[in-house]
Amino acid sequence: METTSKSRLHPLLTAAAISVTVFSAAGVAALTGLLPHSSGTMKDAEPVVTAVSEKPQPSIIEPSMPAAAAVATPVAKPRPQASTARYLVAVSRIRR
């Protein structure tokens, strides 16, 4: 009398397959616009600029004196060009 055993997937492998399927479906739904998106805004990164001191530094620095720190001057953000602004408006209309 022969006994045949059914080979089953390991439970962790089954759970992994289900999670990959669910996250893939959620990603496709998000890309196609079926899922709602958040209304948060992105913060633009500000460039860091270091200022160069125009005063000559003394050649002899006493060890008891702290070193002078360079002061960063803020830089004005450039305004987007008209073509860039039109592009961003068009993209925002498509996403709705």
- Using pLDDT thresholds of 50, 70 and 90, give the confidence band for residue 11: very high
pLDDT for the residue numbered 10: 93
pLDDT for the residue numbered 53: 59
Is residue 52 included in any domain, yes or no?
A: no
Is residue 40 included in any domain, yes or no?
A: no
Q: How far apart are the first and last CA of the chain?
A: 66
Tens-place pLDDT, residues 28-68: 998 888 888 766 566 676 766 666 656 656 566 555 656 66
Is residue 71 included in any domain, yes or no?
A: no
**CA-to-CA distance for 89 and 81, rounded, in angstroms?**
13
Is residue 65 included in any domain, yes or no?
A: no
Is residue 90 included in any domain, yes or no?
A: yes
- Number of domain units in the chain: 1
Q: Containing domain of residue 17, as a range?
A: 11-35+77-96
pLDDT for the residue numbered 51: 61
Answer with the residue of higher pLDDT: 29 or 2: 29
pTM of the model: 0.35
Is residue 66 included in any domain, yes or no?
A: no
